[in-house]
Structure 1
Amino acid sequence: MEEGELVAERYRLVSLVGQGAMGVVWLARDERLDREVAVKQLLIAGSPDKALATATSEEATSRAMREARIAARLRHHNAIAVHDVVEHDGRPCLIMEYLRSSSLDQVMIARGGLPPIEVAAIGAQIAAALTEAHAAGIVHRDIKPENVLFNEDGTAKITDFGVSRAAFVGTVTTTGILAGTPAYLAPEVASGGPAGPSSDVFSLGATLYTAIEGMPPFGIDDNPIALLLRVATGEMKPPERTGPLTDLVMWLLHRDPAQRPSMMTARDALAAAAEGEPFPVPRARTGTIMLPPPRRRVGSMRTVVFALIAVTLVAAGAALGWGITDGESTSATPQQPGTSTPGAPPQQPILAEPTCVASYEVAETWQGGYNATVTIRNDGESTLSGWTVRWTQPDGHQITNLWNGDLTRAGTEMTVTNAQWNTTVPTGGETSFGFTANAKGNNRPTPAVTCGQR
């Protein structure tokens, strides 16, 4: 294809927009309707599935045309419209809405991780388009930051409907080669299973996770097979910045497709979160393997503790020897703490218990509300198995949403216990929960919090 070339006797190519693994995109003018359009020529012959690309090129082109025509049925203001599907030089071309835009990955490069509430608003728009697509029997299969676009007024739109399947991207091909990045694939797809609406839900969750954290949930790796293995086994890095979206994002990223919400439910929950309203999330959402957080080095402290225990036992033995003369006990010598009486079984040394320490911090404030984070730290010498945090909420401060814990209220007395995925805190480790609250005025006190083992 060249500048000035006429495609399908209607679309005049103006300038090259970009080129990738899936195809070449041109800015073109529709000479019949006198409007700008994008022309995307799919590179079927470049598919990594060589058997499909060489032996059945006509069949592949036919399939691409069919998939694109299905995608063209979707009409939604949060989806890039497919106007037409034509063939040019033996290859299928999608004639799409042309949007002078920036993509989500470009925004992330410029700004870094985005605030959770802003990401919720973006996610609600994309989920709205995907809800319509699923209702029409259309599965996207390739949701990722590069395929989320923003127009000049900030409206989010999802693009490349039908392209991924037509170009065999984002799935395992007949030769066993993975086409495209696995970073946003659902585990069941990474394991070779078919894509469906629930895998779109997972990919949306992975995209939102990335927008907030600045990194995909399974990380990045120069070795795509190693990354694919992490995706297939569900070894995910716990989110650290998702704040009020933590529960919802982890629900979208559930390893079991049957436990994920529908796209419609995800849309409604994200829209509520974007408005700062509570949204229902099932409590039992585990299934994804969480990689443990980094642990601080505590070996030297443990060495000191065990050394002190050894010294205590030696001192106890010496005291016992001093208290016995010629087989007779001397009652005047008091029994030392931690020693054993003759004939009694020896006592085991008592190891230090975990020490639960909690700190409260107001992270963000706005007119009529704020966001607070409570960090739980284990300063003891044994693992903390379950924790409970208590504090008195200031008058007029109403918690609207809490994540990473279970909240019980008794008037102004707040009690938060661990969630299923952050029950255990290793020695020297920490975890946290957070919440949003409504409050009148600008008073943002920091209440005293107490922490204990459950």
Structure 2
Amino acid sequence: MAHNIAPLAQGTQVDEYIIDNVMGGGGFSIVYNAHSVADKKHTVLIKEYMPKKLAVRVNDTDVTSLDPSAPESYNKGRKLFFQEASTLATLKHPNIVDVTNFFQTNGTAYMVMKDEKGVNLQDYIRKYKGNLSERLLRKVFPQLLSGVKLLHDKGLLHLDIKPSNIHLRQGGRPLLLDFGAVRETMKTRLYDARVVATAGFAPIEQVTERGYMGPWTDIYAIGATMRSCIEGVPPPSANKRKDDDPMKPAVNAFKRKYSQILLEAVDWSMEPDQRLRPQSCDELLEMLEKMPDENESKSILSKLKLDQLSNLLPWNK
């Protein structure tokens, strides 16, 4: 018999908030729309720690380890979730999700986030099968890099940058989500038992036991995300690229629709050898700020349908 992992019911009170409905979730958490008890107009998002394979819900609200004789994995995950919330609460940046509160109750942990309307980048890529305009990429990714730079300046790595962890708000303002993999910058993974890697977006050093990780690791993921915006699918995994790389350079594959300087930035970020990538967000930002020459810009725009440009930025209508 399947164990109970049902979300909290509408109207349930959690701390000082009332659950309105389920927004989404994944294998480790459930995200709700909610409002403040004191002010119904004050809406928030609440993320509840609920690992499907480790937890069970009892009494409609409480969460506990599925295996009461071995709660270690559940408790460790709850601790990491709470650490994620406490880390995010200290990171105040316009392009990083704003955690306004976090607490433990009902046997689990919760983080409260500012409710900002928009669309998920992965949904956007799926809708248009990639082919997102250069205009959009040049608007979104410098802002995203600014947020990631703050992380790096504080000695942290995100380690899970990908389209589904990027939220696009009105005006094309990106918001970096899901800091469950965030941790202090290390020179090696030798003493780290946790393996966090999304195929296509994690570079080789992230999937290798003795890989040397640093800002260049997140930069690879940003390059892979840009390429996914163009191509519509995740790039090949780092392991597939290791020996006989099947991935065609972006400067050759997409030269008819995008400027050379933008495609060079994508290829540079996705160099398999971490030593050949940008070593800091500033290096990649500097390259992305370089604009194509006037003739190249006109050529790119002439090959893109005008309705495509407007559709890719519906919030500007």
Category of TM-score, reference length = shorter chain: 0.7 to 0.9
Structure 2 residue 119 is the aligned partner of structure 1 residue 102: yes
Alignment of 1:285-296 (within 5 A): none
Change (3 A) 1:66 1:123: same
Residue 89 of structure 1: how far off its partner (Å)? 2.3
Q: Secondary structure at the match of 1:128?
A: helix
Alignment of 1:235 with 2:242, yes or no, is: no
Deviation of 1:22 after TM superposition, in Å, equals 3.2
Q: TM-score, normalised by structure 2?
A: 0.72
C-alpha separation between the residues in 1 aligned to 2:47 and 2:100? 12
Provide closer, same or farther for how the CA distance between residues 152 and 70 of structure 1 changes in structure 2, counting only shifts above 3 A: same
Shift of 1:55: 2.8
Q: Note the 1:243-322 alignment, pairs <5 A.
A: 243-244=259-260, 245-261=262-278, 262-270=280-288, 272-273=289-290, 275-276=291-292
Corresponding residue number in structure 2 for 1:69: 86
Structure number with bigger Rg: 1
Which has the larger displacement, 114-123 or 228-237? 228-237
Structure 1 residue aligned with 2:208: 191
Q: Do the aligned residues in 2 keep the contact of 1:38 with 1:96 (CA within 8 Å)?
A: yes
Q: Which residue of structure 2 lines up, in the alignment, with residue 82 of structure 1? A: 99
AA of the residue aligned to 1:210: S
C-alpha distance in 1 between matches for 2:166 and 2:53: 24
Q: Given the alignment of the two structures, is residue 30 of structure 1 paired with residue 36 of structure 2, yes or no?
A: yes
- Displacement after TM superposition at 1:364 (Å): 6.2
Task: Write 1 or 2 for the structure with the bigger share of strand.
Answer: 1
CA contact (8 A) 1:150 1:157 kept: yes
Are the structure 2 counterparts of residues 109 and 84 from structure 1 closer, same or farther at C-alpha, using a change threshold of 3 Å? same
CA contact (8 A) 2:259 2:297 kept: no
Residue 46 of structure 1: CA displacement? 3.4
1:158-173 paired onto structure 2 within 5 Å = 158-160=176-178, 162-165=179-182
Name the counterpart of 1:352: none
What's the offset of the Cα at 1:265?
A: 2.0
Is the 2:220–2:271 Cα contact (8 Å) retained in structure 1? yes
Residue number among 149, 154, 157 corresponding to 1:136 in the alignment? 154
**Aligned-partner residue type, residue 36 of structure 2:** D
Deviates more, 1:248-257 or 1:114-123: 114-123
Note if contact 2:29-2:47 (Cα within 8 Å) is conserved in structure 1. Answer: yes
Deviation at 1:98, TM superposition (A): 1.4
1:203, distance to aligned residue in structure 2 (A): 0.4
How far residue 154 of structure 1 moved from its aligned partner, in angstroms, is 2.2
1:85-123 Cα offsets, whole Å, 9 max, x none, are 212322221211212211112112222321234213211
Aligned positions of 1:39-58 closer than 5 A: 39-44=46-51, 46=53, 54-58=71-75
Q: Say whether 1:17 aligns with 2:35.
A: no
Q: Select 2:227's aligned residue among 194, 198, 209.
A: 209
CA offset digits 1:325-359 (Å, max 9, x no partner): xxxxxxxxxxxxxxxxxxxxxxxxxxxxxxxxxxx
Q: Measure how far apart 1:44 and its partner are.
A: 4.2
CA distance in 2, matches of 1:234, 1:115: 30
Question: In structure 2, the residue corresponding to 1:250 is in which secondary structure?
Answer: helix
1:150 CA displacement: 1.2
Residue 197 (structure 1) shift: 2.2
Displacement of 1:54? 4.4
Which consecutive unaligned segments of at least 5 residues does structure 2 have?
A: 1-7, 55-65, 184-188, 304-317
Hey, what's the Cα distance between the residues in 2 that align with 1:178 and 1:277?
A: 43
Structure 2 counterpart of 1:149, one-letter code = H
CA distance in 1, matches of 2:157, 2:79: 19
Say if 1:127 and 1:138 are closer, same or farther in 2 by CA, change over 3 A: same
Residue 99 of structure 1: SS of its match in structure 2?
coil
Work out the CA distance in 2 between the residues paired with 1:370 and 1:153: 20
* Deviates most, 27-36 or 99-108: 27-36
Shift of the alpha carbon at 1:136? 1.8
Measure the CA separation in 2 of the matches of 1:228 and 1:258: 15
Aligned to 1:91: 108
* Conserved 8 A contact 2:140-2:172: no
| Higher RCO (CA-CA < 8 Å; seq separation 6+) | 2
Q: Residues 82 and 96 of structure 1 are in contact (CA less than 8 Å); yes or no, is this contact kept in structure 2?
A: yes
Q: Deviations over 1:246-293 (max 9, x none)?
A: 2111111122223322112222322x14x5479xxxxxxxxxxxxxxx
CA displacement, residues 401-421 of structure 1 (integer Å, 9 cap, x when unaligned) = xxxxxxxxxxxxxxxxxxxxx
Question: Quick check: 1:70–1:138 contact (8 Å CA) kept in 2?
Answer: no
Distance in 2 of aligned mates of 1:12 and 1:195: 41
Identity of aligned residues (%): 20
Q: Distance in 2 between matches of 1:196 and 1:30?
A: 39
Q: 1:365 aligns with which of 285, 298, 304?
A: 298
Counterpart of 1:128, as a letter, is S
Q: How many residues align?
A: 266
CA RMSD of aligned residues (A): 3.4
Most deviating of 75-84 and 36-45: 36-45
| C-alpha contact (below 8 Å) 1:71/1:138 kept by paired residues | no
Higher helix share: 2
Secondary structure in structure 1 of the residue aligned to 2:20: strand
**SS, match of residue 57 in structure 1:** helix
Superposition TM-score, scaled by structure 1 size: 0.52
| Letter of the 2:298 counterpart | T
CA distance in 1, matches of 2:213, 2:33: 31
What's the secondary structure of 2:229's corresponding residue? helix
Paired residues of 2:148 and 2:281 also in contact (CA < 8 A): yes
Where 2:90 maps in the other structure, the secondary structure is: coil
| SS of alignment partner, residue 163 of structure 1 | coil
